[in-house]
Amino acid sequence: MRHLMSPLDLSVDELDELLNLANDIEKHPEKYAHACDGKKLATCFYEPSTRTRLSFEAAMLNLGGSVLGFASADSSSAAKGESVSDTIRIISCYADICAMRHPKEGAPLVASQKSQIPVINAGDGGHQHPTQTLTDLLTIRSLKGRLDNMTIGLCGDLKFGRTVHSLINALIRYPGIRFVLISPEELKIPSYIREDVLKAKQIPFTEVERLEDAIPELDVLYMNRVQKERFFNEEDYVRLKDFYILTREKLSLAREDMLVLHPLPRVNEISVEVDDDPRAVYFKQAQYGVYVRMALILTLLGISVE
Ligand code: CP
């Protein structure tokens, strides 16, 4: 039995296979319509979500399976003090696979250690969000044709943005990747990523504050929102929340073939006037999230479709 806690749980070859499967699902959805007949997915979300929870549910329904679960800690027995270890033992009696989001770093890992079914980390605190990373990789590979030899700009809240942390960990396994880390001083990438990942593995990167300075050299611009729910005081959040706003004017400095990604939800960091630009692919990215989660469910349940 396999779980997915981090994108690094999959080797580069396994990742390629998963992305190939997702592309096949995109092209031939009818082939997979009954692949999970009789199977159940539990979505255990202790934190709010639109895309991750609903795309997991759409993925399982597209595969012919069914779904059950809860969308907030308040609507589960966590509100009465039940631990994730006990909860997953119960969920193991009801479902074949579980996607879990939790505000505490490591909670899905704890659950996986007591689980009788595969557990997928659907986001744990400010730590990791591996299925968003799979979505991001599928989007970049499908639209750019490669995952290597690129300059990737990561812009916004690099301190608390778990999607950024997961994406860096995944992309450094490909040759010729260079990062431009664009953030205000207070939201710089944590030192455990800068020192233990980027510097330790000799990955080229620069840190800048102005988006306008970085944008002309980028192949991919990955925007993220300032993560309000991780701030300790409202004042800091209010001061930083509109630090970056990608406007049509700023986008005019970018290459014609640069892609703009965003894990969403968006707050103010991308102006809606940018949405119609062909380089803005964040809504397409959300659609890729369904294909890749379908591929992941099949892979973790060991189901292959001829
Ligand atoms: N990208 C993402 O995780 O969105 P949700 O919080 O809506 O699931």
pLDDT tens-place string over residues 42-64: 999 999 999 999 999 999 999 99
pLDDT confidence of residue 161: 87
Confidence label for 201 from pLDDT (cuts 50, 70 and 90): very high
Give start-end residues of each CATH 3.40.50.1370 domain in the chain. Answer: 7-128+289-301, 130-285
Residues 196-216, mean pLDDT to the nearest whole number: 97
pLDDT digits (tens, 9 = 90+) for 209-231: 999 999 999 999 999 988 777 77
Determine the atom of ligand 1 nearest the C-alpha atom of 264: 1
CA–CA dist 163, 123 (Å, integer): 8
Give the pLDDT score at 2.
96
Residue 229: its pLDDT value, please? 77
From 83, 90, 132, 76, select the one nearest 104 (Cα to Cα): 83
**135 Cβ closer than 6 Å to some ligand 1 atom:** no
CATH number of 7-128+289-301: 3.40.50.1370
Joined tokens for residue 295: 């591929």
Q: Report the separation in Å between the CA atom of 50 and the middle of ligand 1, taken as the mean of its atom positions.
A: 6
Listed in order, strand segments (DSSP E) in the chain are 40-45, 66-70, 97-102, 119-124, 150-155, 177-182, 205-208, 220-223, 259-261
Q: What is the pLDDT of residues 227-246, one digit of tens each?
A: 777 777 888 888 888 889 99
Does 49 contact ligand 1 (Cβ within 6 A)?
yes
* Residue among 84, 91, 164 at smallest CA distance from 129: 164
* Domain spanning 130-285: CATH 3.40.640.10: no
Q: Is 263 in the pocket of ligand 1 (CB under 6 A)?
A: yes
Q: How far is the CA of 265 from the centre of ligand 1 (A)?
A: 6
Lowest mean pLDDT among 115-119, 157-161, 227-231, 233-237: 227-231
